[in-house]
Structure 1
Amino acid sequence: MKKSILFLLMLTGIIFSACSTTKQASSKELYSTTWELDFITGSRIAFDGLYPNEKPNLTFDKESNRVHGTNSCNGYSYKFTLDNEKLTFSEPGPATLRYCEGNGDKVFLEMMEKVESFSFDENNKLNLMANGIPVMRFKKTNNN
Protein backbone atom coordinates (compact mmCIF):
# COMPACT_ATOMS: atom_id res chain seq x y z
CA MET A 1 0.00 0.00 0.00
CA LYS A 2 2.76 2.46 0.97
CA LYS A 3 4.69 1.64 -2.21
CA SER A 4 1.67 2.34 -4.41
CA ILE A 5 1.04 5.69 -2.68
CA LEU A 6 4.69 6.62 -3.07
CA PHE A 7 4.55 5.59 -6.73
CA LEU A 8 1.43 7.72 -7.32
CA LEU A 9 3.05 10.72 -5.64
CA MET A 10 6.17 10.35 -7.77
CA LEU A 11 4.08 9.95 -10.93
CA THR A 12 2.04 13.04 -10.06
CA GLY A 13 5.25 15.03 -9.51
CA ILE A 14 6.61 13.95 -12.88
CA ILE A 15 3.37 14.92 -14.64
CA PHE A 16 3.27 18.35 -13.01
CA SER A 17 6.90 19.05 -13.82
CA ALA A 18 6.32 18.05 -17.45
CA CYS A 19 3.40 20.46 -17.68
CA SER A 20 5.37 23.39 -16.36
CA THR A 21 4.70 26.72 -18.08
CA THR A 22 8.36 27.71 -18.26
CA LYS A 23 10.85 26.03 -20.54
CA GLN A 24 14.29 24.99 -19.42
CA ALA A 25 16.38 28.13 -19.85
CA SER A 26 18.98 27.90 -22.59
CA SER A 27 21.47 30.72 -22.90
CA LYS A 28 21.78 30.24 -26.67
CA GLU A 29 18.23 31.60 -27.05
CA LEU A 30 19.35 34.90 -25.50
CA TYR A 31 21.66 35.76 -28.35
CA SER A 32 21.13 36.91 -31.95
CA THR A 33 17.95 38.80 -31.18
CA THR A 34 16.75 42.05 -29.71
CA TRP A 35 14.28 41.74 -26.86
CA GLU A 36 11.58 44.38 -26.27
CA LEU A 37 10.06 44.89 -22.83
CA ASP A 38 6.35 44.10 -22.59
CA PHE A 39 5.94 43.81 -18.78
CA ILE A 40 7.65 45.27 -15.73
CA THR A 41 6.65 44.92 -12.10
CA GLY A 42 6.93 47.31 -9.20
CA SER A 43 5.54 50.52 -10.65
CA ARG A 44 2.23 52.07 -9.73
CA ILE A 45 2.14 53.68 -13.17
CA ALA A 46 0.59 51.64 -15.98
CA PHE A 47 3.07 50.09 -18.42
CA ASP A 48 1.96 52.27 -21.35
CA GLY A 49 2.23 55.33 -19.10
CA LEU A 50 5.82 54.46 -18.23
CA TYR A 51 6.75 53.85 -21.87
CA PRO A 52 4.36 55.81 -24.10
CA ASN A 53 6.73 56.28 -27.06
CA GLU A 54 9.43 53.63 -27.01
CA LYS A 55 9.71 50.41 -25.04
CA PRO A 56 13.04 49.47 -23.44
CA ASN A 57 14.99 46.78 -25.25
CA LEU A 58 18.10 44.71 -24.81
CA THR A 59 20.52 42.67 -26.91
CA PHE A 60 22.97 40.16 -25.45
CA ASP A 61 26.45 40.02 -27.00
CA LYS A 62 28.03 36.64 -26.28
CA GLU A 63 31.54 37.64 -27.42
CA SER A 64 31.89 40.62 -25.08
CA ASN A 65 29.55 39.43 -22.30
CA ARG A 66 27.72 42.74 -22.57
CA VAL A 67 24.06 43.57 -22.87
CA HIS A 68 23.08 46.85 -24.49
CA GLY A 69 19.95 48.62 -25.60
CA THR A 70 17.73 51.54 -24.70
CA ASN A 71 15.82 52.14 -21.48
CA SER A 72 13.10 53.91 -23.54
CA CYS A 73 15.04 57.16 -23.64
CA ASN A 74 18.78 56.59 -23.29
CA GLY A 75 21.16 53.95 -24.46
CA TYR A 76 22.82 51.75 -21.84
CA SER A 77 25.36 48.96 -21.53
CA TYR A 78 26.06 46.39 -18.79
CA LYS A 79 28.46 43.52 -18.43
CA PHE A 80 26.60 40.33 -17.55
CA THR A 81 27.46 37.06 -15.87
CA LEU A 82 25.68 33.92 -16.97
CA ASP A 83 25.85 30.56 -15.18
CA ASN A 84 23.13 28.14 -16.31
CA GLU A 85 19.87 30.02 -15.48
CA LYS A 86 21.62 32.49 -13.17
CA LEU A 87 22.01 35.90 -14.77
CA THR A 88 23.36 39.04 -13.14
CA PHE A 89 24.31 42.45 -14.45
CA SER A 90 27.25 44.60 -13.36
CA GLU A 91 27.09 48.30 -12.66
CA PRO A 92 25.88 50.18 -15.75
CA GLY A 93 28.55 51.15 -18.24
CA PRO A 94 28.48 53.96 -20.77
CA ALA A 95 25.07 55.52 -21.37
CA THR A 96 23.63 58.45 -23.26
CA LEU A 97 22.36 61.30 -21.10
CA ARG A 98 19.30 62.77 -22.79
CA TYR A 99 16.54 64.36 -20.72
CA CYS A 100 13.75 61.83 -20.26
CA GLU A 101 10.15 62.66 -19.39
CA GLY A 102 8.63 60.56 -16.65
CA ASN A 103 10.54 57.90 -14.78
CA GLY A 104 10.20 54.80 -16.97
CA ASP A 105 13.93 54.76 -17.70
CA LYS A 106 14.74 54.90 -13.98
CA VAL A 107 12.27 52.08 -13.18
CA PHE A 108 13.85 49.90 -15.88
CA LEU A 109 17.44 50.43 -14.70
CA GLU A 110 16.50 49.85 -11.05
CA MET A 111 14.86 46.56 -11.99
CA MET A 112 17.94 45.45 -13.98
CA GLU A 113 19.95 45.66 -10.74
CA LYS A 114 17.59 43.14 -9.08
CA VAL A 115 17.80 40.42 -11.75
CA GLU A 116 19.22 37.08 -10.57
CA SER A 117 18.09 34.61 -13.24
CA PHE A 118 16.15 34.13 -16.45
CA SER A 119 13.65 31.75 -18.02
CA PHE A 120 11.54 31.43 -21.13
CA ASP A 121 7.78 30.97 -20.99
CA GLU A 122 5.54 28.89 -23.24
CA ASN A 123 5.37 31.80 -25.72
CA ASN A 124 9.18 32.03 -25.95
CA LYS A 125 9.19 35.29 -24.04
CA LEU A 126 12.24 36.07 -21.93
CA ASN A 127 11.55 36.49 -18.22
CA LEU A 128 14.14 38.22 -16.06
CA MET A 129 13.66 37.04 -12.50
CA ALA A 130 14.35 38.25 -8.96
CA ASN A 131 13.82 35.87 -6.06
CA GLY A 132 12.27 33.36 -8.46
CA ILE A 133 9.58 35.78 -9.64
CA PRO A 134 9.46 37.39 -13.11
CA VAL A 135 10.11 41.13 -12.72
CA MET A 136 10.47 41.90 -16.44
CA ARG A 137 9.24 40.09 -19.55
CA PHE A 138 10.56 40.64 -23.07
CA LYS A 139 9.37 39.56 -26.49
CA LYS A 140 11.49 39.18 -29.60
CA THR A 141 11.26 42.17 -31.89
CA ASN A 142 10.24 41.92 -35.54
CA ASN A 143 13.64 43.06 -36.82
CA ASN A 144 15.31 39.69 -36.13
Structure 2
Amino acid sequence: MKHSYYLILGLAFLCSSCGNTKKATKSNETSSTMTTTSLTGKKWKLIELNGQPVADRVNNKEPFIEFNDTDKRYTASGGCNGLGGTYTLTDKGGITFSQGMSTMMACEDMAIENQLKEVFGKADNFTINNNVLSLNKARMATLAKFQATDNGNATSQLNGTWEVDYISGPRIAFDGLYPDKKPTITFNLPDSIATGNSSCNNFRSSVKIEGSNIKFGMPASTRMACPGAGESTFFKTLESINKFSVSGNTLNLIMGDIAVMRLQRK
Protein backbone atom coordinates (compact mmCIF):
# COMPACT_ATOMS: atom_id res chain seq x y z
CA MET A 1 0.00 0.00 0.00
CA LYS A 2 2.81 2.36 0.91
CA HIS A 3 4.60 1.55 -2.37
CA SER A 4 1.43 2.42 -4.33
CA TYR A 5 1.18 5.74 -2.52
CA TYR A 6 4.75 6.72 -3.43
CA LEU A 7 4.24 5.59 -7.02
CA ILE A 8 1.15 7.79 -7.41
CA LEU A 9 2.96 10.72 -5.76
CA GLY A 10 5.91 10.31 -8.13
CA LEU A 11 3.70 10.23 -11.21
CA ALA A 12 1.86 13.34 -10.06
CA PHE A 13 5.16 15.20 -9.56
CA LEU A 14 6.39 14.08 -13.00
CA CYS A 15 3.21 15.32 -14.73
CA SER A 16 3.44 18.60 -12.88
CA SER A 17 7.09 19.04 -13.98
CA CYS A 18 6.20 18.31 -17.61
CA GLY A 19 3.40 20.87 -17.47
CA ASN A 20 5.66 23.50 -15.99
CA THR A 21 8.35 22.79 -18.60
CA LYS A 22 5.84 23.21 -21.42
CA LYS A 23 4.59 26.45 -19.91
CA ALA A 24 8.16 27.74 -19.49
CA THR A 25 9.04 26.78 -23.07
CA LYS A 26 5.90 28.45 -24.39
CA SER A 27 6.62 31.52 -22.27
CA ASN A 28 10.20 31.73 -23.59
CA GLU A 29 9.00 31.35 -27.19
CA THR A 30 6.42 34.10 -26.68
CA SER A 31 9.01 36.32 -25.01
CA SER A 32 11.44 35.76 -27.89
CA THR A 33 8.77 36.60 -30.47
CA MET A 34 7.75 39.76 -28.64
CA THR A 35 11.41 40.79 -28.32
CA THR A 36 12.08 40.31 -32.03
CA THR A 37 8.92 42.18 -32.99
CA SER A 38 9.78 45.11 -30.73
CA LEU A 39 13.21 45.52 -32.36
CA THR A 40 12.34 45.03 -36.02
CA GLY A 41 10.17 47.06 -38.37
CA LYS A 42 11.54 50.32 -36.98
CA LYS A 43 14.33 52.74 -37.66
CA TRP A 44 16.14 53.64 -34.45
CA LYS A 45 17.81 57.05 -34.38
CA LEU A 46 20.95 57.33 -32.24
CA ILE A 47 20.35 59.94 -29.52
CA GLU A 48 22.98 59.17 -26.85
CA LEU A 49 26.44 57.58 -26.65
CA ASN A 50 28.25 56.83 -23.39
CA GLY A 51 25.94 59.22 -21.53
CA GLN A 52 26.45 62.10 -23.97
CA PRO A 53 23.74 63.40 -26.34
CA VAL A 54 24.27 62.88 -30.08
CA ALA A 55 23.42 65.58 -32.62
CA ASP A 56 20.47 65.03 -34.98
CA ARG A 57 22.90 64.84 -37.89
CA VAL A 58 26.58 63.90 -38.03
CA ASN A 59 28.41 64.86 -41.22
CA ASN A 60 24.94 65.87 -42.46
CA LYS A 61 23.66 62.30 -41.98
CA GLU A 62 21.33 60.80 -39.41
CA PRO A 63 23.03 58.13 -37.23
CA PHE A 64 20.75 55.09 -36.83
CA ILE A 65 20.33 51.32 -36.56
CA GLU A 66 17.77 48.95 -38.14
CA PHE A 67 17.18 45.26 -37.44
CA ASN A 68 16.02 42.74 -40.06
CA ASP A 69 14.12 39.78 -38.59
CA THR A 70 14.32 37.65 -41.75
CA ASP A 71 18.09 37.21 -41.90
CA LYS A 72 18.96 38.48 -38.40
CA ARG A 73 21.16 41.27 -39.76
CA TYR A 74 21.46 44.87 -38.68
CA THR A 75 22.27 47.99 -40.68
CA ALA A 76 23.64 51.10 -39.00
CA SER A 77 25.47 54.37 -39.49
CA GLY A 78 27.44 56.64 -37.19
CA GLY A 79 27.11 59.50 -39.66
CA CYS A 80 29.75 58.38 -42.14
CA ASN A 81 30.12 54.79 -43.32
CA GLY A 82 27.50 52.10 -43.67
CA LEU A 83 27.94 49.59 -40.83
CA GLY A 84 26.34 46.21 -40.35
CA GLY A 85 26.58 42.53 -39.50
CA THR A 86 24.49 39.91 -37.72
CA TYR A 87 22.83 39.95 -34.31
CA THR A 88 21.75 37.17 -31.96
CA LEU A 89 18.98 37.40 -29.36
CA THR A 90 18.88 35.30 -26.19
CA ASP A 91 16.48 35.01 -23.27
CA LYS A 92 15.84 37.93 -20.93
CA GLY A 93 16.85 40.64 -23.40
CA GLY A 94 20.30 39.33 -24.26
CA ILE A 95 21.84 40.48 -27.55
CA THR A 96 25.23 40.10 -29.23
CA PHE A 97 26.51 41.71 -32.42
CA SER A 98 28.87 40.30 -35.03
CA GLN A 99 30.30 43.09 -37.13
CA GLY A 100 30.57 42.65 -40.88
CA MET A 101 32.34 44.73 -43.48
CA SER A 102 31.73 48.45 -43.85
CA THR A 103 32.47 51.14 -46.36
CA MET A 104 35.81 52.91 -45.96
CA MET A 105 35.00 56.59 -46.46
CA ALA A 106 36.82 59.22 -44.41
CA CYS A 107 34.55 61.91 -42.96
CA GLU A 108 35.23 65.11 -41.05
CA ASP A 109 33.74 63.74 -37.80
CA MET A 110 34.55 60.08 -37.16
CA ALA A 111 34.15 60.16 -33.36
CA ILE A 112 30.51 59.01 -33.27
CA GLU A 113 31.13 56.18 -35.72
CA ASN A 114 34.17 54.93 -33.80
CA GLN A 115 32.28 54.96 -30.49
CA LEU A 116 29.30 53.18 -32.06
CA LYS A 117 31.58 50.41 -33.34
CA GLU A 118 32.85 49.94 -29.77
CA VAL A 119 29.25 49.65 -28.54
CA PHE A 120 28.61 46.74 -30.94
CA GLY A 121 31.64 44.99 -29.50
CA LYS A 122 30.61 45.48 -25.86
CA ALA A 123 26.80 45.32 -25.68
CA ASP A 124 25.31 42.10 -24.31
CA ASN A 125 21.72 43.11 -23.46
CA PHE A 126 19.08 45.65 -24.40
CA THR A 127 15.92 47.25 -23.03
CA ILE A 128 13.08 49.15 -24.70
CA ASN A 129 11.10 51.74 -22.71
CA ASN A 130 8.83 54.43 -24.15
CA ASN A 131 10.14 53.81 -27.69
CA VAL A 132 13.75 54.22 -26.54
CA LEU A 133 16.14 51.33 -27.22
CA SER A 134 19.10 51.05 -24.85
CA LEU A 135 22.14 48.87 -25.55
CA ASN A 136 23.86 47.89 -22.32
CA LYS A 137 26.83 46.01 -20.93
CA ALA A 138 25.81 43.79 -18.00
CA ARG A 139 24.46 46.11 -15.25
CA MET A 140 26.83 48.93 -16.05
CA ALA A 141 25.79 52.30 -17.45
CA THR A 142 23.92 52.31 -20.77
CA LEU A 143 26.29 52.36 -23.76
CA ALA A 144 23.91 53.82 -26.35
CA LYS A 145 20.32 54.98 -26.69
CA PHE A 146 18.16 55.08 -29.82
CA GLN A 147 14.75 56.68 -30.39
CA ALA A 148 12.22 54.85 -32.56
CA THR A 149 11.26 56.87 -35.63
CA ASP A 150 8.40 56.47 -38.07
CA ASN A 151 9.80 54.34 -40.88
CA GLY A 152 6.40 53.72 -42.45
CA ASN A 153 6.85 56.46 -45.05
CA ALA A 154 10.37 55.39 -46.05
CA THR A 155 9.03 53.85 -49.26
CA SER A 156 7.22 57.02 -50.28
CA GLN A 157 10.40 58.98 -49.55
CA LEU A 158 12.00 57.19 -52.48
CA ASN A 159 9.78 58.97 -54.98
CA GLY A 160 11.58 61.44 -57.22
CA THR A 161 14.93 61.58 -59.00
CA TRP A 162 18.24 60.76 -57.34
CA GLU A 163 21.77 61.38 -58.64
CA VAL A 164 24.67 59.06 -57.77
CA ASP A 165 27.66 60.67 -56.04
CA TYR A 166 29.43 57.55 -54.73
CA ILE A 167 29.91 53.92 -55.84
CA SER A 168 31.95 51.42 -53.83
CA GLY A 169 34.35 48.97 -55.40
CA PRO A 170 35.87 50.20 -58.67
CA ARG A 171 39.55 51.11 -58.66
CA ILE A 172 38.86 54.08 -60.92
CA ALA A 173 38.01 57.29 -59.05
CA PHE A 174 34.35 58.34 -59.17
CA ASP A 175 35.10 61.44 -61.26
CA GLY A 176 37.05 59.23 -63.64
CA LEU A 177 34.09 56.89 -64.07
CA TYR A 178 31.67 59.77 -64.62
CA PRO A 179 33.59 62.81 -65.94
CA ASP A 180 30.64 64.38 -67.76
CA LYS A 181 27.37 62.98 -66.41
CA LYS A 182 26.44 61.07 -63.25
CA PRO A 183 23.92 58.19 -63.20
CA THR A 184 20.38 58.92 -62.01
CA ILE A 185 17.45 56.82 -60.78
CA THR A 186 13.81 57.96 -60.73
CA PHE A 187 11.10 56.28 -58.62
CA ASN A 188 7.36 56.84 -59.06
CA LEU A 189 5.89 54.46 -56.49
CA PRO A 190 3.68 52.50 -56.31
CA ASP A 191 4.79 51.83 -59.90
CA SER A 192 7.08 48.80 -59.88
CA ILE A 193 9.39 50.29 -62.54
CA ALA A 194 12.41 52.53 -61.90
CA THR A 195 13.83 54.62 -64.73
CA GLY A 196 16.95 56.71 -65.13
CA ASN A 197 20.18 57.27 -66.96
CA SER A 198 23.37 55.25 -66.59
CA SER A 199 25.49 58.35 -67.40
CA CYS A 200 25.16 57.34 -71.06
CA ASN A 201 21.99 55.36 -71.87
CA ASN A 202 18.45 55.72 -70.55
CA PHE A 203 17.21 52.59 -68.75
CA ARG A 204 14.18 50.92 -67.19
CA SER A 205 14.27 48.29 -64.46
CA SER A 206 11.69 46.42 -62.44
CA VAL A 207 11.88 47.20 -58.74
CA LYS A 208 10.44 45.22 -55.82
CA ILE A 209 10.24 46.83 -52.38
CA GLU A 210 9.27 45.20 -49.07
CA GLY A 211 9.94 47.38 -46.03
CA SER A 212 13.59 48.41 -46.30
CA ASN A 213 14.39 45.59 -48.72
CA ILE A 214 14.72 46.45 -52.42
CA LYS A 215 15.55 44.43 -55.52
CA PHE A 216 16.21 45.76 -59.02
CA GLY A 217 15.70 43.58 -62.08
CA MET A 218 18.10 43.46 -65.01
CA PRO A 219 18.00 46.94 -66.61
CA ALA A 220 16.80 47.37 -70.19
CA SER A 221 18.54 50.34 -71.83
CA THR A 222 19.03 52.23 -75.05
CA ARG A 223 21.98 51.16 -77.21
CA MET A 224 24.41 54.05 -77.48
CA ALA A 225 28.09 53.12 -77.30
CA CYS A 226 29.52 54.37 -74.00
CA PRO A 227 33.20 55.08 -73.30
CA GLY A 228 34.82 53.78 -70.12
CA ALA A 229 33.45 51.47 -67.42
CA GLY A 230 30.97 53.87 -65.84
CA GLU A 231 27.77 52.34 -67.23
CA SER A 232 28.76 48.71 -66.65
CA THR A 233 29.85 49.54 -63.07
CA PHE A 234 26.52 51.25 -62.38
CA PHE A 235 24.38 48.40 -63.77
CA LYS A 236 26.42 45.68 -62.05
CA THR A 237 26.18 47.48 -58.70
CA LEU A 238 22.44 48.12 -59.13
CA GLU A 239 21.72 44.41 -59.56
CA SER A 240 23.62 43.53 -56.35
CA ILE A 241 21.56 45.79 -54.06
CA ASN A 242 19.08 44.31 -51.56
CA LYS A 243 18.35 47.12 -49.06
CA PHE A 244 17.92 50.86 -48.95
CA SER A 245 17.96 53.66 -46.40
CA VAL A 246 16.69 57.22 -46.84
CA SER A 247 18.08 59.96 -44.61
CA GLY A 248 16.91 63.43 -45.57
CA ASN A 249 18.04 64.05 -49.14
CA THR A 250 20.47 61.11 -49.15
CA LEU A 251 19.61 57.62 -50.40
CA ASN A 252 21.93 54.72 -49.58
CA LEU A 253 21.58 51.53 -51.62
CA ILE A 254 23.00 48.62 -49.66
CA MET A 255 24.40 45.18 -50.48
CA GLY A 256 24.33 43.00 -47.36
CA ASP A 257 25.85 45.29 -44.75
CA ILE A 258 27.60 47.76 -47.06
CA ALA A 259 26.24 50.93 -48.65
CA VAL A 260 27.62 50.38 -52.15
CA MET A 261 25.87 53.31 -53.81
CA ARG A 262 24.95 56.74 -52.47
CA LEU A 263 22.60 59.18 -54.20
CA GLN A 264 21.43 62.74 -53.57
CA ARG A 265 17.92 64.00 -54.33
CA LYS A 266 17.80 66.29 -57.38
With the shorter chain as reference, the TM-score category is 0.7 to 0.9
Deviations 1:92-118 (A, max 9, x none): 23x111111111000000001100010
1:44 — aligned with what?
Answer: 171
Alpha carbons of 1:19 and 1:53: their partners in 2 closer, same or farther (altered >3 Å)? farther
CA distance in 2, matches of 1:105, 1:129: 19
Q: 1:9 to 1:61 in 2, by over 3 A?
A: closer
TM-score by length of 1: 0.80
Deviation at 1:133?
Answer: 1.1
Alignment correspondent of 2:252? 127
Task: Report how far residue 63 of structure 1 moved.
Answer: 4.2
| 1:109 aligned residue | 235
d(CA) in 2 for partners of 1:19, 1:108: 35
* Residue 61 of structure 1, CA deviation: 2.1
Secondary structure, in 3 states, of the residue corresponding to 1:139? strand
How far, CA to CA, are the matches of 1:26 and 1:18 in structure 2?
18
In the TM superposition, residue 139 of structure 1 has moved relative to its aligned partner by 0.1
Alpha-carbon deviations, 1:17-61, whole Å to 9, x = none? 5279xx947101001x21000100010000000000000000012
Higher relative contact order (CA closer than 8 Å, sequence separation 6+): 1
What root-mean-square deviation, in Å, do the aligned CA atoms of Structure 1 and Structure 2 show?
2.4
**Structure 1 unmatched ranges of 5 or more:** 1-7
- Kindly state the Cα deviation for residue 16 of structure 1 after the two structures are TM-superposed: 3.1
Partner residue in 2 for 1:26: 154
Where do residues 1-144 of structure 1 align in structure 2 (5 Å cutoff)? 10=127, 12-13=134-135, 16=144, 18=146, 24=151, 26-31=154-159, 33-93=160-220, 95-121=221-247, 123-141=248-266
Q: Structure 2 vs 1, CA of residues 100 and 124 (structure 1 numbering), >3 Å: closer, same or farther?
A: same
* 1:18 aligned counterpart, secondary structure: strand
Q: Which has the larger radius of gyration?
A: 2
Change (3 A) 1:62 1:99: same
What is the match of residue 22 of structure 2? none
Give the TM-score of the pair, scaled to structure 2.
0.45
Q: Distance in 2 between matches of 1:100 and 1:38?
A: 19
* Partner Cα separation in structure 1 for residue 145 and residue 258 of structure 2: 17
Aligned residues: 129
- Measured in 1, the distance between the counterparts of 2:214 and 2:183 equals 18
